[in-house]
Amino acid sequence: MIKIRGLTKRYGDVEALRGIDLDVAPGEFLVVLGPSGAGKSTLLRCINRLCAPTEGEIHVDGSRVDAGGASLRRVRRKVAMIFQHYNVVPRLSVRKNVLTGRLGTMPAPLSWLQIFPRQDIEIAMECLRRVELDGKADLRTDTLSGGQKQRVGIARALAQQPRVILADEPVASLDPKTSRTVLTYLKQASRELGISVVCNLHQIDYAREFGERIVGVAGGRIVFDGGPDGLSADVLRRIYPGLEDDAACGGAPRARPATPPHSLTLEEA
Ligand code: ADP
Ligand code: MG
């Protein structure tokens, strides 16, 4: 479904991605795990061309993701996004937020007037049922909790009827219990609808719990690709450079106090 070859992305002197080769199968639920700055967001942004690769090729469902034209439009229709901060419109109802996932398929005048065909309203309600928020369809979205807003984000992505969902740290702003609920809905939708999901996470425990396949990224390179059982202490040290064993912790990897973004992640592990 996604095929990436030799992907490199430089921002001036910063090499955010250094020669990524990656294939994602149809319906696969893939977790990209890595510390802050590893290149996870850049990877997702290159897949739907929110940013232009410096080198390399990306194909989604057989179409090359190019600078513009029909091929890119085809790709963008097939690829939905889920964001860390939900990106819902607070004043709009839950239903209208989900309907914005349909805008790409509608004639422009209808979308300007926010007139939605009955069929699109039915699709939106079906997607809300999947995340068990159909009972809240008429509420203003700013009355919902963070976890519920992210479930709206999932329903909006599903309403696009995509082949691929790219989720960039979808639970980074949520508490652990809510995070697990949100990831459960996302994974379930992926399985039931056969949608490939690439989900960026920095939390090792969620990657272990939800990732069928985990790709570990560090310094812009893939340093691990395997199942959750493969996340040994050694592998974790590759993904999170700067880790050290702490014998007092039964050999569990811990971050040095001097590496704040990592320590948060690893204390949780
Ligand atoms: P992650 O999502 O894993 O935290 P990012 O993809 O955001 O990593 O960033 C990878 C590297 O690229 C970091 O060093 C970051 O500072 C740099 N970077 C990301 N976006 C930009 C940008 N727009 N301009 C310059 N540098 C960037
Ligand atoms: Mg990021």
Q: How confident is the model at residue 128 (pLDDT cuts 50, 70, 90)?
A: very high
Distance (Å) of CA 269 to CA 73, 121, 199, 208, 216: 40, 42, 18, 10, 15
Radius of gyration over every alpha carbon of the chain, rounded to an integer in angstroms: 19
pLDDT bracket for residue 163 (50, 70, 90): very high
Task: Compute how many other C-beta atoms are within 10 angstroms of the C-beta atom of residue 176.
Answer: 12
Query: What's the whole-number average pLDDT of the chain?
Result: 88
Instruction: Check residue 251 and give its pLDDT.
Output: 39
pLDDT grade for 241, boundaries at 50, 70 and 90 = confident
CA 36 / ligand 1 centre spacing (Å): 9
pLDDT of residue 112: 64
Contact by Cβ (8 Å): 266, 240: yes
Nearest-ligand number for the alpha carbon of 37: 1
Q: 3-state SS of the chain: helix, strand, coil percent to 5?
A: 45, 25, 30
Residue 120 Cα to ligand 2 midpoint, Å, equals 32
pLDDT in tens, 48-79: 899 999 999 999 998 888 767 777 888 889 99
> What is the mean pLDDT of the segment spanning 118-137?
96
The pick from 13, 40, 42, 262 for probing ligand 1's pocket by mutation, whose C-beta has the most ligand atoms within 8 angstroms, reads: 42
CA of 172 to the centre of ligand 2 (A): 10
Average pLDDT over residues 244-251: 40
37 alpha carbon – ligand 1 mean position (Å): 6
CA-nearest of 146, 100, 109 to 127 is 100
**Residue partners of 166: CB distance under 8 A and separation at least 6:** 44, 47, 48, 79, 80, 81, 82, 197, 198
Runs of H (alpha helix) within 4-130: 40-47, 69-78, 94-99, 108-112, 118-130
Looking at per-residue confidence, does 107 or 183 come out higher?
183
Q: Ligand 1 pocket: which residues have CB below 6 Å? A: 11, 14, 16, 34, 36-42
Q: Atom 27 (ligand 1): residue with closest C-alpha?
A: 11
Counting from 1 in the atom list of ligand 1, the atom nearest the Cα of 168 is 2
Q: How many CB atoms neighbour CB 210 within 10 A? A: 22
pTM of the model: 0.88
Of all ligands present, the nearest one to the C-alpha of 216 is 1
pLDDT at 252: 42
More confident residue, 212 or 110: 212
Mean pLDDT across the stretch 224-251?
78
Share of the chain above pLDDT 90, in %: 77
Does the pLDDT of residue 269 top 50, yes or no?
A: no
Distance of CA 79 to the CA centre of its chain: 11
Compare 242 and 132 and report the one with higher pLDDT. Answer: 132
**How many whole angstroms separate alpha carbon 174 and alpha carbon 183?**
11
- The string over 31-70, giving b where at least 16 C-beta atoms fall within 10 Å of a residue's C-beta and e elsewhere, is bbbbbeebbbbbbbbbbbbebebeebebbbbeeebeeeee
Q: Are 79 and 48 in contact (CB under 8 A)?
A: yes
Flag the least confident range among 75-89, 130-144, 248-262. 248-262
pLDDT at residue number 244: 61
Nearest-CA residue for atom 16 of ligand 1: 37
Name the one residue in this structure whose structure tokens are 């320590």: 263
User: 210 CA to middle of ligand 1, Å?
Assistant: 25
